[in-house]
A = this chain, B = another copy of it.
């Protein structure tokens, strides 16, 4: 198949009839490399690799050891592994392998910053390993190649069987990439807010505490351990768009649209569509359908004035925290995507995953066909 136009869509003709045209505004022109042509290259040969393994999963043990041996002994790479992975008794019990692990760099989450030391990332296990990898890199993320052992995941397109040839290719560069957009989320605690606009002076600013998160799948605001759901206001570009009454609200990337948002009823969005998905969780209103908004809008979520209970927020299922009346959650699309190596290409990979992970449009096979179904329903 030879693509005849950009995956992003064609540039629109900007003359409208005989006399009208679009007002030129050079400052507002974006230069985007078309998603279908995004490929990996290396400034210098990669030397260090972070291996992320789902912990305490026995089925992954042997593949993990094999992979590490290959990287260390065949490819002469410096392998980074999280300390807790190596502390697994099943690892430490294997003396042969323990010998090799001495050459590894180990680190602890939230303690050691490895973000400038890792040239690429290998994930081994389910989609969760990629969410975890994303969480380790708050800014630029090294390329990720992700292997599944059991069944295909949305984020883990590679079979482990052929890992040697796959990795060799990636190390040589020129692999197809999908840039999975992330959300930059800022939680502001203790601010004084009104109608979504901060009204802060110097003193209040000091009291403010903000935390930033990079999110690959979704931000979830829900009722947490409470039986009572809170009213939550959603602002878009500073305007109050709607109030959520229900179990909560999901703001997801296209990548996240096939995760929790799909469970909550959203349509699925291909990761190369520049958009955010807003999905209510069990809304009281029958007409609260999910919506898809441009990637560049600025969302803000706060408790409603009249909310009688707090809400809880989590980021890719982690870092769950309470949201009180003076707090706000700001969400925009991040400029630091996760560059994932594609197995075939971004479009084919995605439809493979839809079929295999979500059984999308699986139908009963017609076991026998007839020339006429006039009597059939």
Contacts and interface: CB of A to CB of B under 8 A. Distances in A.
Interface in A19-54: 19-25, 28-47, 52, 54
A140 B228 CA distance: 29
Q: How many copies does the complex hold?
A: 4
A362 B264 CA distance: 17
Interface stretch (A66-74, A95-103, A199-207, A364-372): A364-372
Centre residue among A3, A12, A129, A374 by max chain B CB count within 10 A = A12
A247 interface: yes
Contact of A376 (B126, B151, B298): B126
Contacts of A22: 33, 38-41, 177, 339
Interface stretch (A161-169, A186-194, A327-335): A327-335
B289 A268 contact: yes
A377 B308 contact: no
A16 B293 contact: no
A242 interface: yes
Interface in A293-343: 293-298, 306, 308, 314, 316-318, 320, 332-337, 339
Contacts of A286: 262, 286-287, 289, 358-360
A210 interface: no
Contacts of A365: 151
Interface in A244-302: 244-247, 254, 257, 259-260, 262-270, 272-275, 277, 279-298
A275 to B, nearest CB: 5
B363 A362 contact: no
B277 A275 contact: no
B274 A308 contact: no
A232 to B, nearest CB: 12
Closest 3 CB pairs of A and B: A150-B367, A9-B295, A17-B142
Given A17-B140, A30-B30, A268-B291, 7 more contacts: A8-B296, A18-B116, A19-B119, A36-B296, A267-B279, A269-B291, A286-B359
